[in-house]
Amino acid sequence: MDVSLPTIEKPTVPSAVGSAPPRRAIPLPVCCIVAVMGVIAGGYYLDLVLREPRFMLHLTDLGVYQIAGHRVSQGVSLYDTPLLGHARGVMEFVYTPFAALLFVPLAGLAGVARYCVAGLGNVAMVVVSAWAGLSMLGYRRDLRTVLLGVPIAGLALWCEPIRQTMAFGQVNILLLMLVVVDMALPDSARCKGVLTGVAAGIKLTPAFFVLYLLATKRYRAAGMAVGGFAATVLVGALIMPRDSLTFWSGAFADPARVGVPQNNSNESLRGLLARTIGVAGIHQVLWLIAALAVAGICLMLARRLSRAGDELAAVALCGLTMTTVSPYSWVHHWVFLFPALIVLADLAIRRPGVVTAPIAVVTAVIASGGVLPLLDVRASSVFDYHQHSTLYHNAYIWLTLVLIAAAAGYLRSGGRASREVASVDTP
């Protein structure tokens, strides 16, 4: 049964090997295995939520968003004082005025409705992100692919950034979905770029994808992204002029609002350098040089991946790099590990080898959350294993650098050309 879903398709990009290969159906054995694993993983996660809701879904950050929404509805400033307490850098509102407007409908949520909106809403967005990712990998837009998004989401709940975003009631999965769906649109789509602009209008970091669109010469989409972002700024300014002036005149760049860069929870390149060499002296210069170098290399590789037809790999690499070079990145910000895992799993299944499979397994272990205790390891995630180790504590940063190197090696080996020339549909 083939159900056409026209809104998302594999982006039209120049290909090093000629025309794009025909879309494939996901092999039935793979569907069955993923379905079984996903149902087990999702069922066990649900059991944990029902048994320990205050731990698995404490929704701390959703509570902060609700306070922000309440302040907006009451006409109280968002940026003059912390939302909770009085300490600078603790529970201050760091999002845009437009984001605060989106939080207004959440202000009155309580009880079971609060858990349902946060939990089921995030799971639904993971499903949509998975489906868009599979579409970018070149799979048919049929019922089999759509349904497979549900068990994939069940497996994703054991990815630590997804798991923490669920627990905190964070917006990161929403941002992931907006960007991935946007990038999955064909380049001919007039609205391509708008969702990325809206994502940047909620939280500034997705603006990195404007650079990706420029690097891949999708100038119209980049312009639409800028336009979408500008529209969010305008909406915020019209409805909340005073808060908008405060935010855009400097609050958005005030590091004191977030906290000190050497915070142990800051899983970014800046946090790594601050914890290693301190914040005095040339720390800022070194961070800027390193961030520009990593971003530049990523964009060059992403451009080549996109040209080769490996769009999801390019998007995932940009998402990981975006989080690496951001001044502050908590663990739950690293949600682009999810599409990276989809890419690696796809490669490991269709092109198994002495390099692909180990990288996929190592990435899955590093990105996992709550899985290690099942293997009799006394750590919920890699960050709990030797907490003061530079290696383990900055695992996502090292992993990103390894994946950047792996992407370079993959492109040198021929990339998509070596595995798609003889591609045929699988029934």
Residue 187 lies in a domain: no
Q: What pLDDT shows up at residue 11? A: 47
Give me the average pLDDT of each 10-residue run along the chain (427 residues). 43 45 87 96 95 92 95 94 77 93 95 93 97 95 92 97 97 98 96 98 98 98 98 97 95 81 90 88 90 98 96 98 96 97 94 85 94 82 76 91 96 65 39
**DSSP 3-state helix, strand, coil percentages of the chain (rounded to 5)?**
65, 0, 35
Question: How much is the mean pLDDT over the chain?
Answer: 89
DSSP characters for 317-360? HHHHHHHHHSS---GGG-TTHHHHHHHHHHHHHHS--TTHHHHH
Cβ partners under 8 Å of residue 382, min gap 6: 160, 365, 366, 368, 372, 392, 395
The model's pLDDT over 102-137, given as tens digits with 9 standing for 90+, comes to 999 999 999 999 999 999 999 999 999 999 999 999
Q: What is the C-alpha to C-alpha distance for residues 122 and 154, in angstroms, rounded to an integer?
A: 12
Q: What pLDDT shows up at residue 388? A: 64
Residue span of the structural domain in which 319 resides: 264-415
Residue 324 lies in a domain: yes
Question: In degrees to the nearest 10, what's the CA dihedral of 98, 99, 105, 107?
Answer: -120
Q: What is the C-alpha to C-alpha distance for residues 175 and 199, in angstroms, rounded to an integer?
A: 5
Q: What pLDDT shows up at residue 414? A: 76
The candidate with the shortest Cα–Cα distance to 322, out of 396, 255, 218, is 396
Residue 333 lies in a domain: yes
Q: What pLDDT shows up at residue 89? A: 66
Q: What pLDDT shows up at residue 380? A: 85
Residue 316 lies in a domain: yes
Q: What pLDDT shows up at residue 81? A: 86
Q: What is the C-alpha to C-alpha distance for residues 214 and 276, in angstroms, rounded to an integer?
A: 34
- Looking at the structure of the chain, the number of domains it has is 1
Cα–Cα distance list, 333 to 165, 203, 323 (Å): 8, 11, 7
Q: What pLDDT shows up at residue 188? A: 94
Residue 105 lies in a domain: no
Residue 259 lies in a domain: no
Q: What pLDDT shows up at residue 265? A: 87
Q: What is the C-alpha to C-alpha distance for residues 284 and 280, in angstroms, rounded to an integer?
A: 8
- Phi, then psi, of 203 in degrees rounded to 5: -145, 135
Q: What pLDDT shows up at residue 373? A: 84
Q: What is the C-alpha to C-alpha distance for residues 387 and 145, in angstroms, rounded to an integer?
A: 39
Residue 280 lies in a domain: yes
Residue 250 lies in a domain: no
Q: What pLDDT shows up at residue 7? A: 43
Q: What pLDDT shows up at residue 389? A: 72
